[in-house]
């Protein structure tokens, strides 16, 4: 049963984490030779992409070319919350305790027998799963296929298992004392967003402007020369705007024969040194039941061009780091999907790690690895984290798409992996794109939307590769390689930077989005000019007006300017980055400096485009060892013990009425969070404040607060408080929607309605 086939693997389906490659065709394909080049001129006259408008593609002439590419959903099936099935697991044996192959086979058999096959296939699940109410007679058969990073074993199951069956199998495997961990080997797949197939756009995202990157000024200092950007994706196709900078890559798609179509390599073998994109097209129902027919996306070619398409060649588009080299690493196959174990190996190999399996070490280690993919997962899979850690340890930054699920990025991988730079997507208007994940992201970059897309290299083939062309796409798949390109600029400007230092430079120089960012967009919009300037310690920016006058007064605190003054933001505001923070100005609020932890909390709340708006004071001492700063919509508080958090709305008003940080609650422990049934809550050092539309905001603390929490808090039977604590008959009582809690002489009593 145990087999070690190296790269050419048996065709059992794999556990597949749907990796959202976020791009969608925005226009009909236009051959490279015939396409009027958007934003480029004869070399030496202007900076490519800075001035010339985009030219719309010609009207298609055949029915095949006029049909827009169908939208590709974020992952197989209809409801992502109910998916999670796979036919492959990753098993890591403890170091020094790995049994021989025959013993491992018995471990797999015992676990399979224990897990069995129980339960029905989830809605939208794989057709091979058990029928409703069915319990197949035989336990699943497991076959060891190969190794992935860290010598973990990739083990195939003979049929596709649903989420419950996979969980049962991994639990059974982990019961063996020799097993360090076992986890599903999920499939990761493309997630495109619908788009207007006839709307072409120029490279607005690279040009100067409040919502754009202003790259021409960064290109004066760095163009990515000497850097290597690894594109872990669907592979790459030949293209005149890329070919001169493409290095020999590798193909890590293991699935090559047998089983279902999803994740299939289509090249007849497993791992090999040919990273060409074989096309991820599929017919109706081929990727999962009910899936629509799709044309090939050529996702890897588009992402590569966004990061590093050649410039000054009178052809096509300009990439962010147009003098960097491209390392294509194929990890996604048919249906735009690939296994997490393959992606983990691809990341490690791209950075120069020896992954074994007779794969030669990459002779061109990447400076930065780009992953324009995502899948729902409450934690980063251990095997993927191992691959990321190996890349980071070799000095390569790992930049990942935040994902297109419009949810908190902490529930999405690889955005929730340690050490990565996760990137949300913004529009041409400077707002968070409606599809983009939010919250726990590092920063934001232009990714476009249906109205204005990101223009890059692609291919005109609907299934197999055909002619080279250009098209507009949008999504976090576009935002991620944009930041990967900026990382290449930074590393050229300051080659000694570590991945942690690169991330710090990007975060500390990011600027607020000019528009609203609901949920939070990390540190803000990536600013290549400020980041490269900070990395090289080059100065020379000037200040003026109200921002300049404040800077002159507090120069010793702010340090020297690190960017030009940027205006045209929300409410007509202006902003300028300094060595230690930024100064923001509007006519209504004046100029104020924001820095440190307060700046971070404000940025997480959406910055100037969020509910707090602009600062209306500088930092002030609280008199209790902390600082606070006033904003249009609330204030931010910081202390050494608790960090920074923001207060606003009804919760902020209740906190203020109780004495704020000098009162019984102390400092906040984090920002306000949503609660059940549309309510909200905020935690403090000595209690919490709960708000509900029907009851208002009230503090819950002490023995009564602890009892309420033990009974399920606002999600329990008592629900939200309807008033503050009261003293009655020698007892302290607090009333709730579903009853009351009384405290007297060390005892609490609960009374339900």
Residues involved in catalysis:
233, 299, 477
Distance CA 709, CA 566 (A): 47
* Number of alpha carbons in the 13 Å side-chain half-sphere of residue 689: 28
Q: Which of 325, 447, 566 is nearest to 26 (CA)?
A: 447
How far apart, in whole angstroms, are the C-alpha atoms of residue 12 and residue 212?
45
Q: Are the CB atoms for 249 and 228 separated by under 8 Å?
A: no
Question: Token match 């003293």: residue?
Answer: 727
Residues in a beta bridge with 272: 251
Q: Rounded CA gap, 280 and 262, in Å?
A: 9
Q: How far apart (Å, rounded) are the C-alpha atoms in residues 685 and 591? A: 32
Q: Which of 576, 577, 529, 535 is nearest to 217 (CA)?
A: 529
Backbone angles phi, psi at 195, to 5 degrees: -150, 160
Angle at 252 between CA 246 and CA 256, to 5 degrees: 125
Q: CA–CA separation, 338 vs 325, rounded Å?
A: 24
- Other Cβ atoms less than 10 A from the Cβ of 104: the count is 22
Distances in whole angstroms, Cα of residue 11 to Cα of each of 153, 249, 254, 266: 16, 23, 8, 12
Bridge partners (DSSP) of residue 214 are none
Question: Which has the closest alpha carbon to 387: 369, 403, 402, 374?
Answer: 369
Question: What are the beta bridge partners of residue 525?
Answer: 444, 511
Residue 13 DSSP code: -
């Amino acid at each position: 049963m145990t087999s070690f086939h190296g790269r050419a693997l048996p065709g059992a389906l794999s556990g597949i984490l749907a990796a959202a490659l976020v791009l969608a065709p925005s226009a009909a394909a236009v051959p490279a030779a015939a396409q009027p080049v958007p934003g480029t001129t004869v070399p030496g006259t202007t900076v490519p992409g800075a001035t010339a408008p985009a030219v719309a593609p010609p009207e298609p002439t055949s029915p095949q070319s006029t049909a827009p590419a169908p939208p590709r959903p974020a992952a197989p099936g209809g409801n992502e919350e109910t998916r999670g099935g796979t036919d492959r697991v990753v098993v890591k044996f403890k170091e020094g305790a790995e049994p021989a192959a025959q013993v491992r086979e018995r471990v797999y058999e015992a676990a399979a027998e224990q897990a069995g096959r129980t339960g029905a296939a989830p809605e939208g699940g794989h057709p091979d799963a058990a029928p409703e109410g069915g319990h197949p007679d035989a336990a699943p058969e497991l076959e060891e296929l190969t190794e992935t990073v860290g010598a973990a074993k990739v083990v195939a199951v003979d049929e596709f298992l649903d989420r419950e069956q996979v969980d049962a199998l991994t639990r059974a495997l982990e019961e063996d004392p020799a097993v360090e961990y076992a986890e599903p080997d999920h499939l990761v797949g493309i997630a495109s967003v619908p788009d207007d197939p006839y709307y072409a756009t120029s490279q607005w995202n690279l040009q100067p402007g409040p919502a754009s990157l202003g790259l021409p000024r960064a290109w004066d200092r760095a163009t990515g020369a000497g850097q290597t950007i690894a594109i872990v994706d669907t592979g790459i196709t030949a293209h005149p705007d890329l070919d001169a900078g493409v290095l020999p890559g590798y193909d890590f798609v293991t699935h090559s024969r047998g089983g279902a179509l999803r994740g299939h390599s289509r090249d007849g073998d497993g791992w090999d040194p040919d990273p060409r994109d074989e096309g991820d097209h599929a017919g109706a129902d081929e990727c999962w039941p009910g899936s629509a027919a799709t044309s090939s996306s050529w996702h890897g070619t588009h992402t590569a061009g966004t990061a590093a398409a050649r410039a000054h060649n009178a052809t096509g588009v300009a990439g962010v780091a147009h003098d960097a080299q491209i390392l294509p690493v194929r990890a996604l196959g048919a249906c735009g999907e690939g296994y997490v174990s393959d992606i983990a190996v691809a990341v490690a190999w791209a950075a120069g790690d020896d992954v074994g399996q007779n794969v030669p070490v990459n002779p061109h280690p990447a400076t930065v690895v780009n992953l324009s993919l995502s899948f729902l997962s409450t934690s980063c899979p251990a095997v993927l984290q191992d691959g990321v850690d190996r890349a980071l340890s070799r000095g390569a930054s790992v930049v990942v798409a935040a994902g297109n699920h419009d949810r908190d990025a902490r529930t999405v991988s690889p955005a929730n992996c340690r050490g990565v730079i996760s990137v949300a997507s913004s529009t041409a208007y400077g707002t968070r794109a409606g599809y983009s994940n939010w919250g726990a992201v590092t920063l934001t970059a232009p990714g476009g939307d249906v109205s204005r897309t990101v223009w890059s290299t692609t291919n005109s083939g609907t299934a197999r590769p055909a002619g080279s062309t250009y098209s507009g796409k949008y999504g976090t798949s576009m935002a991620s390689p944009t930041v990967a390109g900026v990382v290449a600029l930074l590393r050229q400007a300051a080659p000694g930077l570590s991945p942690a230092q690169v991330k710090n430079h990007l975060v500390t120089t990011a600027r607020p989005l000019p528009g609203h960012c609901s949920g939070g967009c990390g540190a803000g919009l990536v600013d290549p000019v400020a980041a490269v300037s900070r990395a090289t310690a080059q100065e020379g920016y000037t200040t003026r007006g109200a921002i300049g006058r404040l800077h002159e007064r507090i120069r010793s605190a702010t340090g020297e300017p690190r960017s030009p003054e940027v205006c045209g933001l929300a409410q007509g505001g202006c902003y300028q980055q300094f060595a230690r923070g930024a100064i923001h100005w509007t006519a209504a609020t004046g100029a104020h400096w924001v820095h440190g932890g307060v700046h971070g909390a404000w940025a997480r709340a959406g910055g100037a485009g969020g509910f707090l708006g602009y600062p209306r004071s500088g930092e002030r001492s609280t008199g209790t060892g902390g600082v606070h700063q006033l904003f249009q919509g609330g204030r931010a508080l910081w202390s050494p013990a608790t960090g920074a958090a923001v207060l606003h709305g009804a919760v902020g008003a209740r906190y203020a009425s109780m004495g704020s940080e000098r009162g019984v609650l102390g400092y906040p422990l984090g920002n306000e969070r949503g609660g059940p049934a549309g309510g909200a809550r905020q935690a403090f050092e000595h209690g919490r404040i709960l708000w509900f539309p029907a009851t208002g905001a009230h503090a819950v603390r002490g023995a009564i607060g602890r009892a309420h929490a033990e009974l399920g808090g606002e999600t329990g039977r008592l629900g939200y408080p309807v008033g503050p604590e009261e003293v009655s008959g020698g007892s302290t009582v607090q009333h709730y929607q579903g009853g009351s809690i009384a405290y007297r002489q060390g005892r609490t009593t609960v009374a339900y309605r």
